[in-house]
């Protein structure tokens, strides 16, 4: 019997088990709008005041433009590795390697960031545990281990967890929004005037300036509405990927943007005492406690904990698939080991264990301040990756084939891509302009230098891996005119 091919000239090793909603759930779980708002709403209140929530709309529109361009690639090249594969096949293997390295750095750090936030911001308050960094690190290590075991056991199991997490999150956001509206209407506590209030930032200097409070509030949308391309990282495990993956990419951003804005409006209107809520370590939980009581607050924390877990496991799986994809092309350290797929589970076990190992190292070795700076730096990486992806698309779009029935912007592709590129330049400017971002910029530069060292090593000792593209002859007619 002939061995099934992926469509990229590779032997099909990963099992296609993901249906349309499961693919959507992967991207939506990575975005995790409730988790993103839960983790960043305090920053908006402190830097820009309640009125800062309206910047979410700008971020949602901008990220939707980016998602439309990413979906154009996903509709034509359905391989694990997403932008790494697109750049390798349509640019050059060397260019693709840099896409892969940046994405790997982002995902590897994001796993730790999400799981550490799960421990400190959701699970510990839910369990009534006092804030303690060492305790949070131990819990993070346990969560990483559980996620790695689940990721190794079965992709189908992961998809079930994500589907459940997404369903719970959708229900949570809608239910909380309705409950808060009813509570405000019944008690007459809260005010629509909060939506235009600067809160504790009233009179703050440089509020409207470059790097000022209003600009900093944009980070909520930029840090939350990312990772929608994670569905493309699992394209080789999706059914009918040329249709389901692009729809999941765009649909997840649109759904998260709309639900997030509704959630933010209801939360903000429900605030009774803006100064007090602004100084809470978890203002979302505090608002829930004030308006809906202790039981509702604990339900929220339980749901948020599960949503954090679902988001973390999606990132871990996405990162392992990227490592697998790069190793399959002999372009990742220890690639002979990292490209192995277990014949029984049909999952890349060594690549998954690598992500677990890196998480353990970051948790055990880095001091608190350094870990925080590394996590902050990870917000710059996706904007950089998306910007480079759009530049690549504008450079190669005329060579892209149009698959019948697949997602296609048609005559709107150029204006959408140009608008998306303009937005990513603005997003990068917003992320690097605050004075607090200097250390994060240095960390990103350090990661680039580290990648450069390995890249030079490949040029010197394994040049062949960067001179040829597996499956390129098979796919010449598939990917380009």
- The dihedrals phi and psi of 279, each to the nearest 5 degrees, come to -95, 5
Count Cβ atoms below 10 Å from residue 221 Cβ, excluding itself.
Answer: 30
Closest CA to 150 of 138, 140, 137, 161: 161
Mean pLDDT, to the nearest integer, of 6-31? 70
Using alpha carbons only, what angle is made at residue 63 by residues 58 and 67, rounded to the nearest 5 degrees?
A: 150
**Which of 157-171, 251-265, 389-403 is the least confident region?**
157-171
Mean pLDDT, to the nearest integer, of 214-227? 89
pTM for the structure as a whole? 0.85
Q: How confident is the model at residue 481 (pLDDT cuts 50, 70, 90)?
A: very low
Instruction: Give 342-403 as a DSSP string.
Output: -TTT-S-HHHHHHHHHHHHHHHHHS-HHHHHHHHHHTTHHHHHHHHHHHHHHHHHGGGB---
Q: How confident is the model at residue 166 (pLDDT cuts 50, 70, 90)?
A: confident
Q: Mean pLDDT score of the chain, rounded to an integer?
A: 85
Instruction: Give 2-34 as a DSSP string.
Output: PPPB-SSSSB--S---B-HHHHHHHHHHHH-HH
What separation in angstroms does the CA of 404 have from each of 4, 19, 281, 408?
22, 20, 51, 9
Q: Tell me the H-state helices in 75-211.
A: 83-90, 93-117, 124-126, 133-153, 155-187
What separation in angstroms does the CA of 424 have from each of 62, 220, 388, 439, 457?
8, 15, 9, 21, 31
| pLDDT 10s digits, 300-317 | 888 888 888 988 888 898
| pLDDT 10s digits, 402-430 | 777 777 888 899 999 999 999 999 999 99
Closest CA to 469 of 3, 5, 7, 8: 8
Q: What percent of the chain has pLDDT over 90?
A: 33
Q: Tell me the H-state helices in 405-469.
A: 413-432, 438-461, 464-467
- Determine the Cα–Cα distance for residues 403 and 244; give it in Å rounded to an integer: 14
Mean pLDDT, to the nearest integer, of 188-211? 88
The alpha carbon dihedral of 97, 149, 15, 113 has a sign of: negative
Beta-carbon contacts of 101 under 8 Å, excluding residues fewer than 6 positions away, are 451, 454, 455
Closest CA to 464 of 330, 346, 367: 330
**Which of 92-101, 123-132, 154-163, 311-320 is the least confident region?**
154-163
Q: Can you give the pLDDT at residue 159?
A: 75
| pLDDT 10s digits, 362-391 | 888 877 766 667 777 788 899 999 999 999
The alpha carbon dihedral of 140, 142, 146, 151 has a sign of: positive
Mean pLDDT, to the nearest integer, of 258-285? 92
Closest CA to 250 of 414, 392, 69, 376: 69
What separation in angstroms does the CA of 219 have from each of 36, 99, 292, 417, 477?
10, 23, 28, 22, 42
């Amino acid at each position: 019997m002939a061995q099934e091919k992926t469509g990229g000239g590779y032997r099909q090793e990963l099992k296609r088990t993901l249906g349309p909603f499961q693919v959507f759930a992967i991207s939506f779980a990575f975005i995790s709008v409730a988790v993103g708002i839960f983790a960043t709403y305090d920053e908006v209140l402190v830097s820009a005041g309640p009125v800062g929530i309206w910047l979410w709309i700008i971020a949602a529109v901008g990220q939707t433009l980016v998602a439309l361009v990413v979906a154009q690639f996903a509709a034509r090249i359905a391989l694990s590795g997403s932008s790494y594969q697109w750049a390798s096949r349509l640019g050059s293997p060397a260019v693709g390697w840099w896409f892969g390295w940046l994405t790997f750095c982002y995902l590897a750090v994001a796993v730790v960031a999400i799981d550490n936030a799960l421990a400190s911001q959701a699970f510990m308050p839910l369990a009534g545990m006092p804030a303690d960094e060492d305790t949070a690190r131990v819990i993070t290590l346990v969560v990483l281990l559980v996620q790695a075991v689940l990721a190794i056991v079965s992709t189908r199991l992961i998809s079930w967890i994500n589907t459940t997490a997404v369903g719970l999150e959708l229900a949570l956001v809608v239910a909380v929004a309705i409950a808060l509206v009813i509570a405000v209407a019944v008690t007459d506590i809260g005010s629509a005037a909060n939506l235009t209030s600067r809160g504790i930032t009233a009179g703050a200097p440089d509020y409207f300036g470059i790097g000022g409070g209003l600009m900093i509030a944009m980070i909520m949308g930029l840090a939350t509405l990312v990772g929608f391309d994670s569905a493309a990282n699992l394209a080789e495990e999706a059914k009918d990927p040329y249709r389901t993956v692009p729809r999941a990419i765009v649909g997840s951003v649109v759904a998260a943007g709309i639900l997030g804005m509704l959630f933010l409006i209801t939360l903000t209107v429900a605030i009774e005492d803006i100064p007090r809520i602004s100084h809470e370590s978890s203002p979302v939980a505090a608002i829930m406690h004030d308006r809906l009581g202790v039981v509702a607050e604990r339900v929220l924390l339980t749901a948020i904990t599960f949503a954090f877990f679902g988001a973390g496991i999606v990132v871990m799986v996405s990162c392992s698939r990227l490592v697998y994809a790069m190793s399959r092309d002999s372009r990742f350290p220890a690639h002979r080991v990292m490209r192995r797929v277990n014949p029984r589970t049909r999952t890349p076990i060594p690549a998954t264990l690598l992500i677990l190992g890196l998480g353990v190292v970051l948790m055990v070795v880095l001091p608190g301040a350094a870990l925080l700076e590394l996590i902050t730096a990870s917000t710059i990486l996706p904007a950089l990756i998306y910007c480079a992806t759009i530049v690549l698309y504008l450079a190669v779009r005329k060579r892209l084939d149009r698959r019948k029935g697949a997602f296609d912007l048609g005559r709107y592709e150029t204006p959408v891509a140009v608008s998306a590129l303009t937005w990513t330049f603005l997003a990068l400017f917003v992320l690097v302009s605050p004075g607090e971002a200097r250390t994060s910029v240095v960390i990103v530069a350090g990661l680039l230098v580290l990648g450069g060292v390995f890249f030079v090593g490949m040029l010197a000792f394994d040049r062949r891996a960067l001179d040829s593209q597996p499956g390129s002859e098979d796919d010449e007619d598939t990917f380009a005119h």
